[in-house]
Structures are given as structure tokens and as C-alpha cells.
Amino acid sequence: MRLTHCLASGLAFVATAWAQAKGLPPGVEAALARARIPADAVTLLVTDADGKAPARLSHRTDVPFNPASVMKLVTTYAALDQLGPAFAWRTPVYVDGPVRDGVLQGNLYLRGQGDPKLVVERLWLLLRRVQGLGIHRIAGDIVLDHGAFDVAPQDPGRFDGEPLRPYNAAPDALLVNYKSVVMTFVPDRTAASAAVQAEPPLAGVQFPSSVAMAVGDCGDWRGTLKADFGDPLRVRFNGSFPAACGEKVWPLAYVDPSAYAARAVAGLWAQLGGTLTGQVRDGSVPAGLTPALEAQSPPLAEVVRDINKYSNNVMAQQLFLTLSLQQKGLGTLAGSRELLAQWWHERLGDVPAPVMDNGSGLSRDARITARSLGRLLQLAWASPLMPELASSLPISGVDGTLRRSRSAATAHLKTGSLRDVAGVAGFVLGASGRRHVLVALVNHPNAAQSRPVFDALVDWAASDL
């Protein structure tokens, strides 16, 4: 057995050396030259998904690279394997008093358990179910329990100086609507203004009901609005909205994220006709209470699709923290890193483990080698969970973050991008009918120019006859 293993290892080494000696495909070399990206700033791997043949291309595959959002492949596959594709998050609701004549004589509690999909529609349904218990007025408070995660407070602008970008939302055990507001602008030529609608309603926050319209091209319509978000309680538009734009939608992270959940719950409760004697505040559920109802998230397989298709950072971080919450009773980054490292060793043995940060790839510290990522994808391909993972990945030229890809191949690939970082990894269907694992990562100041490089590599991988 040991001799067989040594022979197999030796053949794999020779095959890898041969692939490296062949150099890069001409189309890929040309695309790198046009992008002014040197070959030593790239790691590339193309190999059969079933692992039965030598790698067709292996370039710097043992060098750790920052993968950006490609790291979500590790988080999502590990979660599918550990939690199962049917896993769902539950958000329990408690009451600590009787209900008489539509009035709850006490407090209402919402305990967050990490649900990454507690969006406006599902929060609205949860509060409607509360009213289904006969509660229309709460004589006490609505208490929000965030204690299932232990994560240090984060400055949303710390990573890239863009605090109002929804992708910078921090994880939260009771994450409501990604802590974001969606503003919709609808031109009304008769009124010479554009109607403004903000969802969800945030208690105590004023949004303009309309904004003046302007003539001319749509162009930079957000800049034309001259929005002022300096006051968390009042949004202002000091400019105008171009009529040529038609209807436009602007998702925006709320400027005071720590107050978001309380304002959203209070706003939706009031919109539903509910009244509240006390306030919406943070706190803990008292021991001994039994849930009056529970809201359930979509299954993990559906959540993973949202994470990978659209590269949702905060959803990936919620999922990462859920690993330690489920196994240790408290969601922490350190606990989830430990559990993922243990899982990696059990599944992949001596294959070098990635350096995980928060599970989303929105990090300057995360690292993984192309060889390790390739082995993970081969493991996933041989797993019963392969359909869930593969179908969660963007399809080249069709949807998600690959919708604008110009590759003619059929490929399911996770994308990633940060300043000075770009990458793709996943599965490519060859002209021979064989499926290939492809990994391509770039760490270079010109990484933003990498798309033609990736397209050329995908097309080359598919041309395997």
C-alpha cells in the first residue's frame, strides 16, 4: 500500500512539473500582457474534476494568494457538509405576560439566531404572526436579543472607506434586512418631480417624499441627487433626479447601523397598525421562557445560492459564525476558524488549510493556494452535495457576478474582487464532455483588468479535445 502511494505521489509530482514546464496557454499570456500583469502575480490551475488525470495547467499553485470572495467556496461547502442542505435558522419570539383584549401585558422578545435572510418581507410576516396571537398593543417593550454572536463592534468604513455600501454591513445575530434601506425613485412628469419611497420604514427617520426632476441624460444620477446622509434622523436631497432615468433603485446601508434593527422593527410594527407603550430596545430573553412562535429561514441550499451567485459578504459571515453557534453554543470568529480548520483536516488531510478571517473573503489577511482550492473543489465534485454547491455558482455569461463574462464556455465559477485582488474558481465543461476544476487568482495592482485573462483561461480549459 505504501509503495502504491509513493508511486502515485511521484507520478502526480512529475505530472505537475510537466504542466508547469509547458508554460501558460498563449491566449492567457497575451491577456496578461495586455493587462500588464506579470506571470508571478498569478496562480492558475486547470485539472479534471474527478482527479483521475494529471493537471493540464499548474502555475504557482503552492503559493498562498488572497482569494477575495472566492473564499466563500470554502465557507459554503464546509457549511453544506457540516449543517446539511436542509438546515434552517430559527428566530424565536417570546412573551412574558398574558394577552387580554388585544394587549400584551408585558414585553415581546425577538431572539436572533444568525438568520442571514431576515429581510423586510420576512420580518413583516413575523410581526403579522405576532398579531395572529391576538397582540395588537404591547404594554411593555419589544426587546431584541443579539447575544447568540459574540463579535466585536465594527466600523463599516474600516475596510475601504465606504460605510454606506451594503456589502460592508457587519454580522449580527439579529441581522435585519442587511441593515440597509432601499430607496426607489419614480419620475412623475406631471408633477415635475420624482416620488421617493424608502423600505423598510425606520421609526424616527425622515425621508423626502419627492425630489425635483431635471432634464438631460441619466448619467451619474446618484451624484445629481446631492444626497446628504450626515443626519441619521433625516435624509436630504439637495439636487435633482434626471427624468431620463426612469425608475431607479438605490440600496444603501443605514448611517447608524447599531440602531437599525430597533428602528426597522418599530417602523414595521407601526405600519401594521400595532401600538407600543414602551420602546424597542436591545436586551436578553429571560431564562425559562418558552417561544410563542418561531420564524424559519429558507433552507441552507437556497441561502448558499444567494451567497455565491451575488457574493453577499454579510450573509457569508453570518453562515461562518453559525458554524460555531451550532457546535459551541456561541457564534465567534475564533470558534468558527477552529472548527473549519478541524473539518478541513478531517476531509482533506495534509492539503494545506486556508488562512480564514471572517469567511466572506472581505479581508486583507485571508490566504489559500490554488492547489488547496482545487482539491476542495474535487472533494465537492465527488460529494452528494455537488449539485447544491455547483448550482449556487454564477453561470458564465448568464447570471450573478458572471453575467457580463464574454467566455463562450459553459462554466460555474465563483468570482472575487478587492482592490489589487481578483479571482475565479469552479467548474468548466470541456468540449470532450469532461468536467474540469479551474482556479485563477491575481494579486497585483492591475487585478481589476483581469477579466479577459479569466475568460481566455476558461475558453482554453473548455477546448480539451
Q: Is the pLDDT of residue 9 over 50?
A: no
**Of 295, 289, 294, nearest to 95 (Cα)?**
289
pLDDT of 5 reads 43
Per-residue confidence band for 46, with pLDDT thresholds at 50, 70 and 90: very high
Cβ within 8 Å of residue 14, ≥6 positions away: none
Residue range 353-379, pLDDT digits in tens: 999 999 999 999 999 999 999 999 999
What domains can be seen in the chain, in order of their start residue? 2-86+300-462 (3.40.710.10), 89-297 (3.50.80.20)
**Of 173, 238, 165, 176, nearest to 202 (Cα)?**
176
Overall average pLDDT of the 83-107 stretch: 97
Residue range 391-437, pLDDT digits in tens: 999 999 999 999 989 898 999 999 999 999 999 999 999 999 999 99
| Residue whose cell numbers read 467566455 | 407
Residue range 226-235, pLDDT digits in tens: 999 999 999 9
Per-residue confidence band for 167, with pLDDT thresholds at 50, 70 and 90: confident
Overall average pLDDT of the 255-264 stretch: 96
| Top-confidence residue, 5 or 166 | 166
Cis peptide before 384 (omega within 30 of 0): no
Q: How far apart are CA 42 and CA 47, in angstroms?
A: 17
Q: Is the pLDDT of residue 189 over 90?
A: no
DSSP structure string for 102-143:
TEESS-EEEE----TT--HHHHHHHHHHHHHTT-SEESS-EE
Half-sphere exposure of 389 (CA within 13 A, CB side): 27
Residue 197 in grid coordinates: 419611497
Residue 259 in grid coordinates: 440602531
pLDDT of 441 reads 98
pLDDT of 22 reads 52
Overall average pLDDT of the 195-210 stretch: 96
Phi, psi of 392, deg, nearest 5 = -80, -10
**Of 28, 171, 197, nearest to 112 (Cα)?**
171
